[in-house]
């Protein structure tokens, strides 16, 4: 069990200082479960070229071997994001968080606690639940079977990989669902502008995730954009430019 086709230099923490009028606007981009910063790197580089300061962290338990996720507690993921936020706040006056899949769920968790510090959140095929599976059932399943096959490269474009694991820790899924149970119950506390991208042909997460988030988040400004030519990892798929450009417009409009 290992990382699938990880591009050299793309699975570690990455950051870049911005330039010009956008230099003090920071954007934090969070990858998904079993994935890596590789899934967010092109998006981050695009925003950095537009002058924004960006950070793309490697979440704990990722980037080495799937067994590492058996040793992770869910609190370590938001703690990593909080530390990255603190780094951005050293030099930035406005902060946006972009989260993909489980990274979207982590972004929502952070927003339930730190809406006052954020200027907006952007989600791509975010995760808030697994239908009919709660933490207790996930825990029982993790005691029976430690790993299952990963669907990490659900990408329509041929020959593209996000550099994630080829198997999935079921104990890690239990940890995710604990975090998401709290997050879902507190979605109403999120009041920052939100932009959400949803792939019509997502083979990993059902549309109920998007529907729950759109209905539950307390923000007055909530925008949903449908992606018609991408699977789950839309940040690396045919609709990537749709995400990049619309997110730039969103950040620009909420940075004034």
For residues 165 and 150, give the distance between their C-alpha atoms in angstroms, rounded to a whole number.
7
Instruction: Identify the band that residue 54 occupies on the pLDDT scale cut at 50, 70 and 90.
Output: very high
Q: Is the CB of residue 85 less than 8 Å from the CB of residue 57?
A: no
DSSP-based three-state secondary structure for 24: coil
Residue 6 resides in a domain: no
* pLDDT above 50 (res 14): yes
* β-bridge partners, 197: 124, 225
The reply to whether 62 belongs to the active site is no
Q: Is the pLDDT of residue 22 over 70?
A: yes
Q: Determine the Cα–Cα distance for residues 214 and 225; give it in Å rounded to an integer.
A: 11
Residue 9 inside a domain? The answer is no
Residue 139 has pLDDT above 70, yes or no: no
- The enclosing domain of 195 has a CATH number of 3.40.50.1820
Active site residue 202: yes
Q: Is residue 41 part of a domain?
A: yes
User: Is residue 5 in some structural domain?
Assistant: no
Q: Residue 256: what pLDDT?
A: 80
Q: Let me know: does 107 contact 99? Beta carbons within 8 Å.
A: yes
- For residue 92, the model assigns a pLDDT of 97
Q: Is residue 7 part of a domain?
A: no
Report the pLDDT value the prediction gives residue 2, as an integer from 0 to 100. Answer: 47
Catalytic residue among 36, 38, 62, 101: 101
Confidence of residue 152 (pLDDT cuts 50, 70, 90): low
Q: Do 5 and 165 touch, CB atoms closer than 8 A? A: no
Question: Is residue 156 pLDDT above 70, yes or no?
Answer: yes
pLDDT tens, residue by residue, 226-254: 999 999 999 999 999 999 999 999 999 99
Between 141 and 107, residue with greater pLDDT? 107
pLDDT for 208 beyond 80:
yes
* Residue 170 placed within a domain: yes
Active-site position among 202, 219, 230, 247? 202
pLDDT > 60? residue 141:
yes
**Average pLDDT along the chain:** 92
The model's confidence at residue 39, banded by pLDDT at 50, 70 and 90, is very high
Q: Where are the beta strands (DSSP E) in 11-52?
A: 14-16, 25-30
The mean per-residue pLDDT over the stretch 77-98 comes to: 97
Give the model's pLDDT for residue 1. Answer: 38
pLDDT recorded at residue 201 = 97
pLDDT tier at 168 (50, 70, 90 boundaries)?
confident
Question: Domain containing 244: what range?
Answer: 14-253
Give a yes or no: residue 152 inside a domain: yes
- Give SS3 for 199: strand
pTM of the model: 0.93
Catalytic residue among 38, 62, 232, 239: 232
Q: Which pLDDT band holds residue 169 (cuts at 50, 70, 90)?
A: confident
Q: Which region among 130-144, 145-159, 165-179 has the lowest average model confidence (pLDDT)?
A: 130-144
pLDDT for 4 equals 57
Position 58 pLDDT exceeds 60: yes
User: Over 60: is that where the pLDDT of 210 sits?
Assistant: yes
On whether the CB atoms of residues 98 and 27 are closer than 8 A, the answer is yes
How many domains is the chain partitioned into structurally? 1
Asked whether residue 3 is domain-assigned, the answer is: no
What gap in Å lies between CA 123 and CA 247, rounded to an integer?
Answer: 10
Is pLDDT of 149 > 90? no
């Amino acid at each position: 069990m290992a990382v699938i086709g990880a591009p050299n230099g793309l699975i570690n923490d990455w950051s870049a200082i911005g330039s010009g009028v956008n230099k003090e606007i920071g954007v934090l981009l969070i990858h998904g479960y079993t994935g890596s910063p590789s899934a967010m790197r092109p998006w981050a580089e695009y925003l950095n070229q537009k002058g924004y300061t960006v950070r793309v962290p490697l979440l704990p338990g990722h980037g080495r071997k799937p067994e590492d996720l058996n040793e992770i507690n869910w609190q370590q993921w938001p703690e990593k994001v909080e530390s990255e936020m603190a780094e951005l706040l050293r030099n930035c006056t406005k902060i946006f968080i972009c989260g993909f899949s489980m990274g979207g769920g982590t972004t929502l968790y952070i927003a339930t606690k730190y809406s006052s510090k954020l200027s907006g959140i952007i989600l791509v095929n975010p995760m808030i639940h697994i239908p009919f599976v709660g933490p207790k059932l996930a825990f029982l399943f993790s005691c029976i079977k430690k790993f299952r096959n990963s669907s990490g490269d659900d990408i329509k474009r041929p020959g593209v990989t996000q550099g994630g694991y080829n198997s999935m820790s079921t104990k890690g899924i239990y940890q995710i669902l604990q975090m998401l149970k709290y997050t879902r119950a507190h979605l109403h506390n999120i009041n920052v502008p939100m932009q959400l991208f949803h792939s019509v042909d997502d083979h990993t997460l059902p549309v109920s995730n998007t529907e729950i988030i759109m209905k539950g988040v307390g923000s007055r400004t909530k925008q949903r954009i449908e992606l018609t030519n991408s699977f789950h990892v839309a940040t690396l798929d045919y609709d990537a430019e749709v995400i990049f450009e619309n997110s730039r417009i969103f950040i620009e409009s909420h940075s004034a």
